[in-house]
Amino acid sequence: MATTKQLNVHPIEPQVRIGHVHLKVSNLERALDFYCGVLGFQLMQRYGAEAAFVSAGGYHHHIGLNTWESLGAPPPPARTTGLYHLAILYPTRVALADALSRLLAAGINLDGASDHGVSEALYLRDPDENGVELYRDRPKDQWPRNPRGELEMFTRPLDLESLLRESSTTTNATLPGDASNSPRDL
């Protein structure tokens, strides 16, 4: 296989986006309880008892959930290849704060919470142990850059108390003891 250095590679069209992710789950109802009941996605369509499509804002689907090859199956073992996580982009810091409130109210544990300079992120696992990142991007003019003007992302603990104060919802849930041990991710 040729490497990118060997190929005359033209950049991809800048308007290309990742349209949706389709996850294999072991229990469809449990997955719907998490993605719709906790995170607040809207169920757009069920495909029999084996699949469902959920979205934000009425799009046909951002996340597909199915049991076609995974009904009742355990999560994949650690230290294997596969999807590290799916990342869900929130439009504002307030929306991310509301997501944190939902997680706390549902008793969902965080794997970590990071400030990457370009973004703020919450890390967790869905009921099938799929990695999930909930994040918001900072405006591009706020991204950290080195003296040469090159992007310089980092990973620092996210101030969850500050984030939670921005939530438009109220919750009596308490913050986890230490969610600062974030996954190594940017």
**Measured between alpha carbons, how far is 126 from 32 in angstroms, rounded to an integer?**
10
Q: How far is CA 138 from CA 32, 115, 118, 168, in A?
A: 30, 10, 5, 19
Q: Which two tokens stand for residue 23?
A: 């996850």
Q: How confident is the model at residue 174 (pLDDT cuts 50, 70, 90)?
A: low
pTM of the model: 0.87
CB 146 within 8 A of CB 86: no
The tens digit of pLDDT for each residue in 72-127 reads 999 999 899 889 999 999 999 999 999 999 999 999 999 999 999 999 999 999 99
| The CATH classification of domain 20-68, taken from the options 2.40.50.100, 3.40.50.300, 3.10.180.10, 3.40.50.1370 | 3.10.180.10
| The CATH classification of domain 84-186, taken from the options 3.40.50, 3.40.120, 3.10.180, 3.30.70 | 3.10.180
